[in-house]
Structure 1
Amino acid sequence: MIGSLNHLIDHVEEQLARGADAEIDVEALARGHATTGYHLRRMFSSLAGMPLSEYLRRRRMTRAAADLLSGTDTLLDVAVRHGYSSTEAFNRAFHAVHGMSPAQLRANGGPISNQHVVRFRLAVEGSTPMDVRITTCPEIYFAGYATRVPLLYEGANPHIINHITSLDEQQHGLLRTLAEHSPEGTPPGVVGVTDSEPDAAEGSGLTYLHGVSVTETTDLPESLDVITVPAGDWVIFRTSGPHPETVQAAWAATASDWFPSNPWRLRPGPSALATLGHNADFSEATCEIWMPVEADR
């Protein structure tokens, strides 16, 4: 996987050097590495801390800034070279990255927000064993209270916390009752289900569902939302320790350590976080992270 990601970076640089006619075909590149574009994008986002689309935008504007500073081409020439059909669209994209217009850059020489070429390296230490298991589940139905919140790549998401605390005791009680009948072998208890696009930018929409796993025949009130996940394999990471720091560290380690070292890849679908136990103030907890996967052959 590390080699595939670095090949992707090389492909991006080659295509950006071509200019306006560049076509970055992630799906074709992924097939050439016996994986999927979905998995490649998700791993890139997890390890780089930004989606591939954002990295492309920053690299394109870094190259554009170099062209503006080193050449005598017109603004329109530079805009077209980097894939923009108008100077207005180019100005907006440029300002979003560098905080100034192309004209201001040429007048003042900077400063600019330079995006260096990313390189991925795998550091194998073996000092932190992970409690992992693989299980196969039939089609899973997650039922609960869903909302759309902004996607955040770091730290606790206050919008998710607000959603959970906004539910009243009757709603929480309904979920606890349904959880007692969750199918064996599926995420236990009340779970947090998150579903986003593999290349979603920070701040874009994320679906979060606070709910439980149920069966297709479970009698559900109309007030509940349902997310369906096709039958398949799941990888489960168990964590125990300070909360939520331990969960967040394990989530990051799935991308940096586990997936690059094991013959599995993410398949489309949401991830779920199940809390198995916690102390009185929730500062310590035992949790399970469930991620839908498929064999990476």
Structure 2
Amino acid sequence: MEWIERLNQAINYIEEHITEEINYEQVAKVAYCSTYHFQRMFAYMANIPLSEYIRRRRMSLAAVDLQSGDEKIVDIALKYGYSSPTAFNRAFQSVHAVAPSLVKKGGISIKSYPPISFKITVKGVEELNYRIEEKEAFRIVGISQPLHKEIEKNFAIVPQMWQTAAMDGTIPKLVTMMNNQPMGLLGVSVCNDNEEWKYFIAVSTSKLIDETLEEYSVPASKWAIFTGNGKNPQSIQELEQRIVTEWLPTSGYEYANAPDIEVYLNDDPNNSQYEVWIPVIKK
């Protein structure tokens, strides 16, 4: 329950600062987790990215201002963080499907997006298979690419990265180097608040590397390790959503400050065998 309360406190923080530039790192601190993990949890719990939620809330409030006051459209735009009237008009129409000038005249139907409130609901009809393991730090080797601080913007980056790595021979090369646990092809999201966000396609290995590869030390941590199978990427995304919405709120654990890891145990995307590693600490 404490975990849900923290999420709601973060929503309250957003509401209190809705006309200011929202600092994602500060919002995450209210929820006592990293910026990455907060955005991830929010998106899975709310079924909407954090940035889109904030935009909808601002445009919902902007519509009320347009209808109920004498403020100019340009002033309302500035109030909600839009220095360009064109950008405000575009954002407003994307939510309400009508120009702000028409709303100001009155008699126009608009949309309202109230603040979100999280609560625990009973799910769990289908079982989740997992184990808790403590691991010493281990070395991974592979390729990486910087990630955007708004995690939904990475949904195009990561799949393209995997496609390129498969076509240019990187993945077969990495597979031949694999010689340590976890034995599988790894997708590693290094997204704590103290270093540059990166995504690695990698393996755990002790072998030497050439100039085309880089290494990273995954810190010692306790992991909740979930097993799954199915067609990817849909299957693994569904498992990750269930972990956040069903398991984590009542598990007695919360996110630790370590990478998220996906371990791919075979190379068949239509019947993939995989593990999802979530870094955890006891509440």
Per the alignment, residue 237 of structure 2 pairs with 248
Per the alignment, residue 183 of structure 2 pairs with 188
Provide closer, same or farther for how the CA distance between residues 114 and 226 of structure 1 changes in structure 2, counting only shifts above 3 A. Answer: farther
Stretches of 4+ moved more than 6 A in 1?
21-24, 152-157
Provide closer, same or farther for how the CA distance between residues 254 and 93 of structure 1 changes in structure 2, counting only shifts above 3 A. Answer: farther
Are residues 1:210 and 2:209 paired? no
> Are 2:92 and 2:100, in contact at CA under 8 Å, matched by a contact in 1?
no
CA distance in 1, matches of 2:265, 2:153: 24
Gaps of 5+ in 2: none
Deviation at 1:237, TM superposition (A): 0.7
For residues 220-239 of structure 1, the aligned pairs below 5 Å read 220-239=209-228
Deviations 1:112-145 (A, max 9, x none): 5643322323222332121111222222332112
Are residues 1:172 and 2:161 paired? no
> Are 1:266 and 1:293, in contact at CA under 8 Å, matched by a contact in 2?
yes
Helix, strand or coil at the partner of 2:265: strand
Bigger drift between 90-99 and 232-241 goes to 90-99
Per the alignment, residue 69 of structure 2 pairs with 71
Q: How big is the alpha-carbon RMSD for the aligned residues of Structure 1 and Structure 2?
A: 3.6
Deviation at 1:235, TM superposition (A): 1.6
Match of residue 47, structure 2, among 46, 49, 52: 49
TM-score scaled to structure 1, two decimals? Answer: 0.74
Deviations 1:57-101 (A, max 9, x none): 321221011101222222344345x354xx743551452243465
Number of positions where the alignment pairs a residue of Structure 1 with one of Structure 2:
271
Deviation at 1:239, TM superposition (A): 0.8
CA distance in 2, matches of 1:156, 1:245: 17
> Are 1:238 and 1:287, in contact at CA under 8 Å, matched by a contact in 2?
yes
For residues 247-286 of structure 1, the aligned pairs below 5 Å read 247-277=236-266, 282-286=269-273
CA distance in 2, matches of 1:268, 1:45: 19
TM-score scaled to structure 2, two decimals? Answer: 0.77
Per the alignment, residue 14 of structure 2 pairs with 12
Provide closer, same or farther for how the CA distance between residues 192 and 252 of structure 1 changes in structure 2, counting only shifts above 3 A. Answer: same
User: Which amino acid letter does the alignment assign opposite residue 163 of structure 2?
Assistant: N
CA distance in 1, matches of 2:12, 2:74: 27
CA distance in 2, matches of 1:23, 1:167: 38
Helix, strand or coil at the partner of 1:13: helix
Deviation at 1:255, TM superposition (A): 0.9
Gaps of 5+ in 1: 199-205
> Are 2:14 and 2:27, in contact at CA under 8 Å, matched by a contact in 1?
no
Match of residue 33, structure 2, among 30, 36, 41: 36
User: Which amino acid letter does the alignment assign opposite residue 277 of structure 2?
Assistant: W
Deviation at 1:231, TM superposition (A): 1.9
CA distance in 2, matches of 1:267, 1:120: 21
CA distance in 1, matches of 2:40, 2:132: 19
CA distance in 2, matches of 1:144, 1:137: 20
Match of residue 5, structure 2, among 3, 6, 29: 3
Bigger drift between 36-45 and 123-132 goes to 36-45
Deviations 1:168-227 (A, max 9, x none): 2xx334312211x21x4xx322222234579xxxxxxx8432220235xx4111210233
Provide closer, same or farther for how the CA distance between residues 91 and 112 of structure 1 changes in structure 2, counting only shifts above 3 A. Answer: farther
CA distance in 2, matches of 1:145, 1:28: 30
Per the alignment, residue 127 of structure 2 pairs with 129
Per the alignment, residue 139 of structure 1 pairs with 137
